[in-house]
Structure 1
Amino acid sequence: MTSAKNKMNISVTEKAHAWFKKEFDLENGDGIRFFGKLYGKTAVHDNYSLGMQYAQPNDVLAQVDVDGVIYFIEKSDEWFFSGYDFHVDYDENADEPLYSFT
C-alpha cells in the first residue's frame, strides 16, 4: 500500500515475514512499526539507524499487510523515509532482516 502524499511503498518478502513472525510471535492483526532513530548508519542516512517495534498503526504513512500482519511506517517518520521506497528482505547468513531504500 502507498500513501497518497508521496507515493512511498513498503514491501516485506515472505522470508522476512517468516523471521518477524517467529521472532515476535506474531499473530493476525499484529503490527511491526519501522522508524528512524538517532545514532547509527543506513545505506542512505549518516548518524541515523532504523528501528522496529511491535506496535499498532496509528497515523500511517505507508503499510503492507502480509498474511494478516501489518508492517508500517508512521507519518511522524516521514523525515527518515522521504524520497525512498522501503524494502524488507531476509539475510539467511546473518539470520536477520535486510533493509534497503530505493
Structure 2
Amino acid sequence: MEINISNAALKWFQEEVELNKGDKVRFYTQIYGSSPIQENFSLAFTVDNDPIDMYINTELEGITFFIEETDLWFFNGHNLHVDYNQQKDEIEFSYTVSSD
C-alpha cells in the first residue's frame, strides 16, 4: 500500500490547513458518505501529531501523511492518491489497486 500526495495537494495542505514541517496528517474513515472502494464509508483527514499505531506513511517537505492500522481495512488492497481539484477548491481522493 502507498500514499501518494500530489504537489498541488501538498501546497493546499500548507496554505489552507497551515501545515508546517513536523506536522502530521492522518487519513481516517468516516461512517457516512461514500467512496469508490467502500459503500457507506468515506475518507477524511485530521492533523494528528500523536499517532497511536502508524501503519503506512509518506513524508513531503517535512510533513508526514499517514494511515493508522485500525483504518487499513477501508483501503481493501488499494493505494491512496490525494490531489487538489482547482475547480472545486478542495482535495480529492482516488484509489488504485496495490501491487503488494
- State if a TM-score over 0.5 links the two structures: yes
Structure 1 residue ranges (4+ consecutive) displaced by more than 4 angstroms after TM superposition: none
Q: Which amino acid aligns with 1:92?
A: Q
TM-fit CA distance, 1:48: 0.4
Matches of 2:76 and 2:36, distance apart in 1: 14
For 1:27, the equivalent position in structure 2 comes to 20
Over the aligned positions, Cα root-mean-square deviation in angstroms equals: 0.9
2:4 pairs with 1:11? yes
2:37 partner SS: coil
State the partner residue of 1:68.
62
The letter of the residue matching 1:43 is: P
Aligned identity (percent) is 37
- List runs of 5+ in structure 2 lacking aligned partners: none
* 2:78 corresponds to 1:84: yes
Q: Secondary structure at the residue paired with 2:31?
A: strand
TM-score, normalisation: structure 1: 0.88
* Correspondence 1:101 to 2:95: yes
The number of residues matched between the two structures is 95
8 A Cα contact 2:81 2:94, kept in partner: yes
- Unaligned segments of structure 1, at least 5 residues: 1-7
Do the aligned partners of 2:26 and 2:46 also contact (CA within 8 Å) in 1? yes
User: For 2:55 and 2:95, how far apart are their aligned partners in 1?
Assistant: 15
Decide which moves more: 51-60 or 41-50.
Answer: 51-60
